[in-house]
Amino acid sequence: MKSGWMRLLVSVTISASMGTAMAVDCAAIRAQYNCPANEKYPLHLSFDDGPALQTASVLEVLQREQVPATFFIIAEKIDCETVLQQCQQADPASDGKDCTAYRECQTRREILGKTKQMGHMIGSHSYRHLRYSGVAPDRMQRDFLASKRLLEPFFTTQPPLFRLPYGDGWFNRQQTGHVMQALQEAGFQHVDWQLSAFDWDEKNQQGDKILQNVLTQVCSRQKGGVVLFHDGVENQSHEGRLFTIEHLGEWLPAMRCVVDFKPLDYFVKGYQSR
């Protein structure tokens, strides 16, 4: 016997393969997550740890579903000059430009350019994705500024946006005020999240657990916000958060039963678009 969600998945899969939009059974979704009837909560999607080579698929899904999003970028992943130097050192006889790592880096830069072109918001997620509360102040400042220099052509706001890795500096802001202070001195505006998909956790990467995480939070609180997803994996640049990338196109129509997708400025004020 198939659960309501399995039936839904089948219909979404069929509709995707037929290329037509088939109605999602919203009554079943609301019942499954105990969501009040006729209520929709505002939600903004954010993606951390990219860009990955597969982020292009995320952009396709967002375009198809007409959903705006914000991407917080690990600047090291688009630092192609450094990658080129590493390639040249590994093979001093070549100019390094044929090196796979360099070509992949350039592809990631192109994907980031496309992300901006499509109208999504782009912010920094630091240069090296460290736990900055444990990093010496001068090193922390260098890292923040390096990310600012690399991402400058891609930022979409003034001041540029930033999200700290691991929720560090705002989760524990009572003890780590210096991290938020350093961010401010580097000229960034910090953006946190109110809901998490917990999609980084491998035990959630099966069935509909990630969708369930989001809708359970939305419907139990009867409140939306900025939700945290991941298109990238913090410590690898070639491959992204594949389960999320693969299934996002199924989750968004189901989420729409309960949420209205909003741009970032619905929740976050204090910056100007550029």
The residue among 238 and 256 lying less far from Zn ion, judged by its C-beta, is 238
Question: What x-and-dash track marks residues 94-133 binding Zn ion by CB under 5 A?
Answer: ----------------------------------------
The CB-of-98 to Zn ion minimum distance in angstroms stands at: 31
Question: What x-and-dash track marks residues 137-166 binding Zn ion by CB under 5 A?
Answer: ----------------------------x-
**How many CB atoms sit inside 10 A of residue 26's CB?**
16
Burial zone of 101 (CB within 10 Å; 0-12 exposed, 13-18 middle, 19+ buried): middle
What are φ and ψ of residue 101, in 5° steps?
Answer: -60, -40
Concatenated DSSP letters of 121-143? EEEE--SS---GGGS-HHHHHHH
76 binds Zn ion (CB under 5 A): no
Number of H helices, E strands in the chain: 9, 10
The residue among 32 and 147 lying less far from Zn ion, judged by its C-beta, is 147
Helix axes 242-255, 4-18, angle to 10 degrees: 100
The residue among 9 and 74 lying less far from Zn ion, judged by its C-beta, is 74
The CB-of-10 to Zn ion minimum distance in angstroms stands at: 33
How open is the CA angle 57-62-65, to the nearest 5 degrees?
125
Query: How far is the first Cα of the chain from the last one, in angstroms, to the nearest whole number?
Result: 52
49 binds Zn ion (CB under 5 A): yes
The CB-of-72 to Zn ion minimum distance in angstroms stands at: 7
48 binds Zn ion (CB under 5 A): yes
Beta-strand pair 225-230/195-196: parallel
Q: Applying CB under 5 A, which part among 48-56, 148-156, 187-195, 215-223 lies near Zn ion?
A: 48-56
The residue among 168 and 208 lying less far from Zn ion, judged by its C-beta, is 168
The count of chain residues that interact with Zn ion, using the rule CB under 5 A, is 3
User: 122 near 71, Cβ under 8 Å?
Assistant: yes
CA distance 204 to 208: 8
The CB-of-2 to Zn ion minimum distance in angstroms stands at: 35
The CB-of-126 to Zn ion minimum distance in angstroms stands at: 8
Instruction: Return the amino acid letter for 269.
Output: K
Q: Applying CB under 5 A, which part among 9-17, 40-48, 176-184, 250-258 lies near Zn ion?
A: 40-48
Q: Using CB under 5 A as the criterion, which residues of the chain lie in contact with Zn ion when the complex forms? A: 48-49, 165
